[in-house]
Amino acid sequence: MRFLLRLLLRIQQLIGNHNQKAIRLTGVELGIGIGWRSEIDLTVERLEGVDFVEVIAENLHPPRLPESLTILRGRGLPVLPHGVSLGIGDAAPPSARRLAHLAACAEALQAPLVSEHLAFVRAGGMEAGHLLPVPRTREALDVVAENVRRAQDSLPVPLALENVAAIFGWPGDELTDAQFLTELVERTGVRLLIDVANLYTNQVNLGLPAVEALDGLPLESLAYVHVAGGYERDGIWHDTHTTSAPPQVLELLGELCARASPPGVLLEWDDDYPSDAVLADELGRIRKVVFHGP
């Protein structure tokens, strides 16, 4: 089955066809989810209305999964590995070891897909320690497309790439974020994880209109959506994942939902964890936007 799915994707890449029906053959209806973190494992297990979770792949040891994830899997919840260190946007190909780890996570969790960031994280043996934006040039697109293909060949399930938040842009960009992602999808068939909080961050910090970006993105390739909160200081939006999503981010989610039906929407909360009740309210706010509009 996996071979057939891969074959389908490859054919799709070759003929440059990314129509919605073909993409949906690999699609999974996920629902409303939350980022699983060990600090809130029991909370996530007990929250009502959690349809799927996402776990940071680098925090997993596939032969020995956390009990909580095993329990969630036992309940039939999809658990998606989410990588933060693959460096798909690096000049060098992604490391075989990191890809093997991501693949092992997907296998261990029986995940329907894995996700990573379209980010540049290391070069020449130096780690950036951040998810840096990729230069949006044609040359970079060639490199990233090749990196994505290598990753897809190593992974047992489809790969989704997330747009990142940035506080700077590289000089000499030739393409917009949407154009870059659209071409990447056309060339590779990679799926998209659209982080509306990151779109908002880029709007505030870089002046890139978020709704315009939504209009340009190939949303038929949407795998799922991230929602998160942050705060503004001195005119800079910090996408910290430590607060409730601001209304502007939820409005963007509404705009996205007006253009496409996202298979899943996931709340990210990474630190300063509030009470279970606050997290439940936050999921409720997201659910309301997804099903009833902003």
Partner 1 sequence: MSALLTIVAVGLVVLTFTTRSLLGRARRRRPPADLNGLSPYELAFLAGGARRAANTVLTVLARAGAVRVARGGWITPVYGAAPSPVPMEQAVLDLLAHSGGYRASDLRRALEAHPAMAGVVGSLHARRLLTSSPSGNVGVMSVVVAVTALFVAGVAVLRPSAGPLLFGGLALLAGLISLATLARPLHNEPTADGIGLLVHERRRHRSRASAHSSGVAFPVALYGLGASGDPELIGELSTSDSGSDSSGSCGSGSSCSSGSSCSSSSSSCGSSSGSSCGSSS
Given the complex with partner 1, which of 216 and 246 has the nearer CB atom? 246
Q: What CA–CA distances, in Å, run from 60 to 30, 129, 193?
A: 21, 19, 21
**77's tokens:** 């919840």
Given the complex with partner 1, which of 8 and 167 has the nearer CB atom? 167
Query: Three-class SS of residue 265?
Result: strand
- What number of chain residues touch partner 1 (CB under 8 A)? 60
Helix axes 177-188, 138-154, angle to 10 degrees: 40
Q: Measured from the CB of residue 65, what is the shortest distance to partner 1 in angstroms?
A: 6
- Beta-strand (E) ranges in the chain? 31-36, 52-56, 79-82, 114-117, 120-123, 126-132, 159-162, 191-195, 222-227, 231-233, 236-238, 264-267
Position 257 contacts partner 1 (CB under 8 A): no
Q: Measured from the CB of residue 119, what is the shortest distance to partner 1 in angstroms?
A: 7
DSSP codes joined into one string, 26-55:
T----EEEEEE-GGGHHHHHH-TT--EEEE
Long-range contacts of 72-75 (CB under 8 A, 24+ apart): 72/36, 72/44, 72/45, 73/109, 73/110
Q: Which residues pair with 117 in a beta bridge?
A: 162
Q: Measured from the CB of residue 133, what is the shortest distance to partner 1 in angstroms?
A: 10
Given the complex with partner 1, which of 67 and 142 has the nearer CB atom? 67
Provide φ and ψ at 190, rounded to 5°. Answer: -65, 150
Position 166 contacts partner 1 (CB under 8 A): yes
Q: Which of 23, 34, 77, 121 binds partner 1 (CB under 8 A)?
A: 121
Position 273 contacts partner 1 (CB under 8 A): yes
Residue pair 242/272 in contact by the 8 Å Cβ criterion: yes
Q: Which of 5, 8, 47, 84 binds partner 1 (CB under 8 A)?
A: 84
Count Cβ atoms below 10 Å from residue 44 Cβ, excluding itself: 24
Angle (CA) 216 218 220, round 5°: 140
**Residues from 8 through 67 that contact partner 1 (CB under 8 A):** 35, 37-43, 45-46, 54, 56-62, 64-67
Position 101 contacts partner 1 (CB under 8 A): yes
Q: Which of 27, 78, 81, 82 binds partner 1 (CB under 8 A)?
A: 82
Q: Which of 16, 74, 124, 129 binds partner 1 (CB under 8 A)?
A: 129
Given the complex with partner 1, which of 39 and 153 has the nearer CB atom? 39
Contact mark string toward partner 1, 177..196, x via CB under 8 A: --------------------
Look at residues 281, 269, 294 and name the one whose alpha carbon lies nearest to residue 49.
281
Position 118 contacts partner 1 (CB under 8 A): no
**Site residues (vs partner 1, CB under 8 A):** 35, 37-43, 45-46, 54, 56-62, 64-68, 82, 84-85, 87, 97-98, 101, 117, 119, 121-122, 127-132, 164-167, 226, 238-242, 268, 270-278
